[in-house]
Structure 1
Amino acid sequence: MAKIISLFNHKGGVSKTTTVFHLGWKLASQGKKVLMIDADPQCNLTGLTLGLDDYNSLLKFYENKNNTDIFNSLAPIFEFSDVSIASKENPHAITPTSNPNLFILAGNIRFSELDIQIATALTSSGTIPILRKFVGAFNSFVRKIAEENGIDIVIVDMSPSVSSTNHCIFMSSDYFIIPVSPDFYCYQAIDSLSNVLPKWAKDIEKFKGESEDDLPIGNPKMLGFITQNYRIYTVGRTASDTEDVTAPKKMSKVYQDWLDRINHILNTKLVPELQKKDMIVEEALFQESVTYGDAYHLSGIQNFSGLIPVSQATAKPIFELTKTDGNWTGARWKWKKNGKEYGIKNNIEEANMVYNNLAEAVIKMI
């Protein structure tokens, strides 16, 4: 049975979509059959994965695929009359990518239209069948689509909001990961999630059960958090010969300070609250799977911003980029000091190592 992993933080700008794409690709490259679901109405994951860089190309994709996307796939359950006939006839269609083990269920800006009906259902007694099935619609659909396509792992890119739709998506998951940036706003977000997530678990209990319209009986478990977009100290070509260029790169102090604060509030407030609801993997399992760093710090991903535009243009993850992809030449591509390589080639290799370790840790924990 496929495992569903959601990436969620109600604070935006934490590279959630980029992480879903790169983690999904790595898991697929390690032999897992992976389905990414674009549950964010902004459809950034769809554009990144399929190389759709403007509205017209996105529209053409929908027309060619007969509108088989997340909205049109779920719309018949919510009785939207304008859903395409093709979607009704082939509701479990997914789109292949250039990685043979990686697939995507495309997003749709209209996905947010389902939220009103889901919100109404969540505030009901939970005993009205037509409303109850709205709450479990995403869970039922994803489990079926995964089974029919032989999917091992589903990764969901959620929108940055505390919506009713996100509530149901989150509680349909087996696991979740929280991406953060080391800054004040993500510190606030972790503090807020300490209240939001346990409340979500409590409020959804009446919709859990054994039927296909119900949500899973167990709560989703946090695998950890991923630190994104931090800057590091780097070695310049003018550095002195006495500088230790073999030492690991370190996070800049301002970012390290915020990471320390986030670590503190996560372990003193969020983790205890999640433990009360059985919403977190055991620390022993985490430490066996992630052999470095602090508890529940799943991965630290530095700012690879210079590579992102090339990744988007080629619909390839950073670690698959080649010298030709970016037209990188000379010292920009590679240079050496004291026998150690630097430059874009080195950054690509570092990205490969980081995401490889992340994917391996996830596989061990699920």
Structure 2
Amino acid sequence: MKKIAVFNHKGGVSKTTTSFNLGFGLAKKGKKVLMVDTDSQCNLTLYSMGFEKYTQYCEERNKNNIYDCLVPAYKSQPKLIQPAECYELSNNLYLLPGNLDFTENEVQLGIAMQLSSALGSMENLPGAMNYLIETTAQKYNIDYVIFDMNPSLSAINENVLISSDYFMVPMSPDYFSIMAINSLARVLPMWEKWAKSARVAFSNATYTLPNNIPIFLGYTVNDFNLTHGAPQKSFKGFMDRISQNVSNELYPKLQQAGMTFERQRYEKAYDNMRQKFKSLKDINYSDPFCLAQISNFNKLIAISNETSTPIFDIELSKATEGQRRTLGWFKKLYEALAERIIELTNGE
């Protein structure tokens, strides 16, 4: 079982959209996938369930969500955390819903993570999330767990990322994403440095932290406009700068912290993707760290949200020739992304 954190502390970069479509994409490849909504805004939960089912879910005060599942640890109850009862979205795909109250755990978790050795039941908090996910994944025979995270440098996000096996960084082609790269290059190695000591400090806890270092899978660039099949000039400039900053700033800092593969592994996965998906002629980048460039969905995003359907599975009864081409393009794009993720994580 492999845990992937979809993270960027900058908002509006399509983290939830990426998590949702990647989850469906991996499931279509025969992988059993669990999507976990760790954002108290619950966008992934709403996207996955649809408005009516989500409203009913909230009105019923359903306890099968990430907040309530962790209550035994955060309320110091004399019982173990139990595997979650997940929401089945489709064949091979499950959801552990979010909860608006999840941020209530932030203060307790933050205090526990600031201590060199937490006192009493607080030592169980850093490893509680991982225990819940590990036991739930075993229950459903999960191959991939995908964490949709909130846009912040919170204790919850730190906890999720250091408990993951891998992470990917969605971005948008703008100045703020470039700034976020420099920030991540400083912060993520600090998180891993803390995790190294915490794995020892909390080794006697009921819920321990996993003994793994989260590995950078790459980044995606999302939500830009095309002209004649290529990114518009204004977006292309930012995309080039993102590529440069990832290669020259983010990757070296993560590599020093042991949070990357060797560069050749990224290059091989990129080359294999280009070779297999030769029909994706509009791939205009050669950056091996770029997992995908995903243009604006335009009107399709509204349909995807309303129907809780991945962008590549949308069916339009009166689709124009252009819309059919666009849907075919997105289908190939997400298929390529899923296969690249599988290749990068294979054997790990």
TM-score, normalised on structure 2? 0.90
Q: Per the alignment, in what secondary structure is the counterpart of residue 73 of structure 2?
A: coil
Where does 1:192-231 land on structure 2 (aligned, <5 Å)? 192-209=183-200, 213-231=207-225
Q: Which position in structure 1 is the counterpart of 2:282?
A: none
CA deviation after TM superposition for structure 1 residue 308, in Å:
0.5
Given that 1:124 and 1:131 are in contact with CA atoms closer than 8 Å, whether structure 2 keeps it comes out as: no
In the alignment, residue 24 of structure 2 is paired with which amino acid? W
Q: Which residue of structure 1 aligns with residue 239 of structure 2?
A: 259
Structure 1: 5+ residue runs without aligned partners?
82-86, 235-248, 336-342
1:308 to 301, 314, 318: 301
In structure 2, C-alpha distance between the alignment counterparts of 1:88 and 1:305, rounded to whole Å? 46
Q: Find the counterpart in structure 2 of residue 296 from structure 1.
A: 289
What is aligned with 2:10? 11
Q: For 1:65 and 1:144, locate their aligned partners in 2 and report how far apart those are by CA, in whole Å.
A: 23
AA partner of residue 257 (structure 2): K
1:273 matched residue in structure 2: 253
* CA distance in 1 between partners of 2:100 and 2:62 (Å): 16
**Rg bigger for which structure?**
1
SS in 2 for 1:125: coil
Q: Secondary structure at the match of 2:160?
A: helix
Among the aligned pairs, what percent are the same residue?
A: 35
Asked if the contact 1:73–1:88 (Cα under 8 Å) also holds between the matched residues in 2, the reply is no
Which 5+ residue runs of structure 2 have no aligned equivalent?
275-285
Aligned to 2:328: 349
Q: CA deviation at 1:305?
A: 2.4
TM-superposed CA distance for 1:14, in Å, is 0.5
Q: 1:66: how far off?
A: 3.0
Q: In the aligned structure 2, how far is the partner of 1:88 from the partner of 1:206?
A: 25
What is the count of residue pairs matched by the alignment?
328
Task: Give how far 1:290 is off.
Answer: 1.8
Call closer, same or farther: CA 1:80–1:64 in 2, change over 3 Å: farther
Out of 72, 84, 87, the residue aligned to residue 92 of structure 1 is 84
Residue 177 (1) aligns with residue 173 (2): no
Q: Quote the residue 1:45 is aligned against.
A: 44
- Whole-Å separation in 2 of the counterparts to 1:91 and 1:145: 4
Which AA in structure 2 matches 1:350? Answer: W
Aligned mates of 1:143, 1:363 — CA distance in 2: 19
Q: Secondary structure at the match of 1:4?
A: strand
> Secondary structure of the equivalent of 1:36?
strand
CA contact 1:207–1:214 (8 Å) conserved in 2 = no
When residues 297 and 125 of structure 1 are mapped into structure 2, their CA distance, relative to the original with a 3 A threshold, is same
* Contact kept? 1:62, 1:68, Cα under 8 Å: no
Per-residue CA deviations over 1:207-226 (Å, capped at 9, x if unaligned) read 21566622222210000000
Deviations 1:135-168 (A, max 9, x none): 1111111111101111110000000000011111
Tell whether the 8 Å contact from 2:76 to 2:121 is kept in structure 1 after alignment.
Answer: no
Partner residue in 2 for 1:320: 313
Distance 1:65 1:356, change over 3 A: farther
**Partner residue in 1 for 2:320:** 334
- Counterpart AA for 1:132: E
Q: Aligned pair in 2 of structure 1 residues 89, 157: CA closer, same or farther (>3 Å)? A: closer
Q: Which has the higher helix share?
A: 2
Q: Do structure 1's residue 160 and structure 2's residue 151 form an aligned pair? A: yes
**Equivalent-residue separation in structure 2 for 1:214 and 1:296 (angstroms):** 31
Alpha-carbon deviation of 1:127?
A: 4.8
